[in-house]
Amino acid sequence: MAQFVIGDIHGGHRALMQILERAPIEHGDALIFLGDYLDGWSEGPEVIDALMELSSRYHCRFIRGNHDALCLDYLKDQKAPELWVAHGGQSSIDAYSKVSASKKKRHIKFLEQLENYVVLDQNLFVHAGFTHPKGPAEEFHPHMVYWDRTLWEVARAAHTLSDKSAWQFPERLKCFEEIFIGHTPVQRIGATTPFRATNLWNMDTGAAFEGTLSIMNTATKAFWQSDPLPGLYPDEKGRQA
C-alpha cells in the first residue's frame, strides 16, 4: 500500500482531479490531505464533495487547515471576519450561496470532523506546525497546529543540517522522523515544487495563487503536479492576498 500526501487545494477542484489522474494511485492506497480545501478558487464545495467520495475508495485522512476552520465558522454562524473575506473567504461565500441547505449541512459535518494532525510511522502530517518542543500533543492552544509558521521558519534556518545529534539541530524537528506541512507557499522562497528543509517537507506549491497543486509519495518522494491554477480557471483571479 502506497501513501500519498496532498498540499493545499484552496477550491481548485480541477487541479485536484488532475493530480489524482497523474499520480499512480491504486485502490487501497492512503491519501493524506494537509488542509485548506477552501478559499481561493470557485469550486470549494466541489472539492469537499470529491474528498468525501474519495474516502469510499481510499484510506483517507483529512487534516484541518486554518481556512477550513474559518469557513466552518461562516457556514455555521455566518462569521465573516474582514481578513478572512479578503484572503480567499469571498470565494467560499459566493460558492456556498449556490449550495443547497442539505449539502451545506453535510459539508459542515465533514469540516467538523477534520483532524488537527496525524502521526503515522513516526511521521507527522500537519497543516502548519507546532510550537511546543515536545510536539503538537503538548500545545496549550490546539489551533496553533493550523496557524503556526515558526516551524517552517526554523526548518528553513537549519536546512543544511542532517545530523539530529548536532547541538544546532532544532528540538522540535527531532520529535518525528519526517514532517509534512502546507500553509505557506514555497514560492515565497523561490521554489515551485515540494521543498525539503532538514526533515520537513512543505507541500504547499501555491495552488491558491499562480502555482500548482502537488501530490507526493511519502516513501519514494516522487511527486506529481497539476497545471498552474490560473490556466485551469482563466476567468478567475484566485487569491490576491
Q: Give the number of other CB atoms < 10 A from CB of residue 46.
A: 18
Answer whether 96's CB lies under 8 Å from 75's CB.
Answer: yes
Q: How high is the pLDDT of residue 162? A: 85
pLDDT under 50 in the chain at which residues?
A: none
Answer whether 205's CB lies under 8 Å from 212's CB.
Answer: yes
Answer whether 71's CB lies under 8 Å from 114's CB.
Answer: no
List, for residues 80-104, the tens digit of each pLDDT value: 999 999 999 999 999 999 999 999 9
C-alpha to C-alpha distances, 14 to 17, 115, 139, 200, 202, nearest whole angstrom: 5, 24, 36, 28, 22
Q: How far apart are CA 123 and CA 219, in angstroms?
A: 11
The phi, psi pair for 144, rounded to 5°, reads -60, -30
Chain centre distance of CA 61: 11
What domains sit in the chain, N to C, each tagged with a CATH number? 3-116+180-231 (3.60.21.10)
C-alpha to C-alpha distances, 187 to 154, 175, 234, nearest whole angstrom: 17, 27, 21
Answer whether 212's CB lies under 8 Å from 15's CB.
Answer: yes
Q: How far apart are CA 71 and CA 95, in angstroms?
A: 11
Q: Which grid cell sits at 68?
A: 477550513
The single-letter code of the amino acid at 57 is: R
Under DSSP, the state recorded for 116 is S
Q: How high is the pLDDT of residue 34? A: 99
Q: How high is the pLDDT of residue 5? A: 98
